[in-house]
A and B are shown apart, each in its own frame.
Chain A
Amino acid sequence: DGGITQSPKYLFRKEGQNVTLSCEQNLNHDAMYWYRQDPGQGLRLIYYSQIVNDFQKGDIAEGYSVSREKKESFPLTVTSAQKNPTAFYLCASSIDRDTPGYTFGSGTRLTVV
């Protein structure tokens, strides 16, 4: 079955450490996205990529980095520069930037202690 897989589901890290969240899709989608979700704040866009080897900053990119070396994969690194990294992170993909409707992964809950 085609889908989008995020791993791990739960992640704990010490303050000051970088951490990378995985996102893989086998839907043959061109576009991929990372969102951050905090209670009562909805979904805020961190980074997005519309094609391999290209990506753009979203609304809250500071303290995050991404890469898009393969169509299937769009990992997100939460760096030590992110002031408040504890959150629920959602990865999504869409066929292309013009086709409405994203498919979401099941999310990674990151807790920094």
Chain B
Amino acid sequence: GQQLNQSPQSMFIQEGEDVSMNCTSSSIFNTWLWYKQDPGEGPVLLIALYKAGELTSNGRLTAQFGITRKDSFLNISASIPSDVGIYFCAGQLGDRGSTLGRLYFGRGTQLTVWP
């Protein structure tokens, strides 16, 4: 299957700091998504990106769809304790109607925020 390389694997930061994580692929994706997973729960969609170069914000979160269509970035500004969790990138290959429409996931970034 497709490999998404997500980094860093884990981050330990203090409340109020900004956070950056990224995801790269050897393949071109048509869509990039970012999910957050709280402990013991399923991932929840944070941001979806549909066009190369697109920059989208959701509150303190900002994500970008890389120009090459092979990478994406997520930034969290002024972190708070409830930002703790695992953040996953996901990408979708393929054109509409193809069987390549499934999502591929990165291995996740575990974020810990110290008060």
Contact = CB atoms under 8 A, between A and B. Distances in A.
Interface of A: 6, 33, 35, 40-43, 45, 48, 50, 56, 59, 90, 92, 97-98, 100-107, 109
A94 B41 CA distance: 18
B101 interface: yes
B106 A107 contact: no
A106 B9 CA distance: 23
Interface stretch (B43-51, B56-64, B70-78): B43-51
Contacts of A109: 40
Contacts of A59: 1
Interface of B: 1, 6, 9, 31, 33, 35, 40-45, 48, 50, 88, 92, 96-97, 99, 101-103, 105-108
A40 B107 contact: yes
A106 B37 CA distance: 10
Given A42-B88, A43-B105, A101 B42 contact: no
B88 A100 contact: no
Contact of B105 (A42, A50, A56): A42
A6 to B, nearest CB: 8
A102 B103 contact: yes
A107 B42 CA distance: 6
A104 B42 contact: yes
A48 B99 CA distance: 11
Contacts of A107: 40-42
A101 B33 CA distance: 7
Given A41-B107, A42-B107, A42-B108, A48 B42 contact: no
Given A101-B45, A102-B45, A102-B103, 9 more contacts: A35-B105, A42-B105, A43-B88, A45-B1, A97-B99, A100-B50, A104-B35, A104-B43, A107-B40
A88 to B, nearest CB: 8
Nearest to B1: A59
B55 to A, nearest CB: 17
B105 to A, nearest CB: 4
Nearest to B4: A42
Contacts of A101: 33, 45, 48
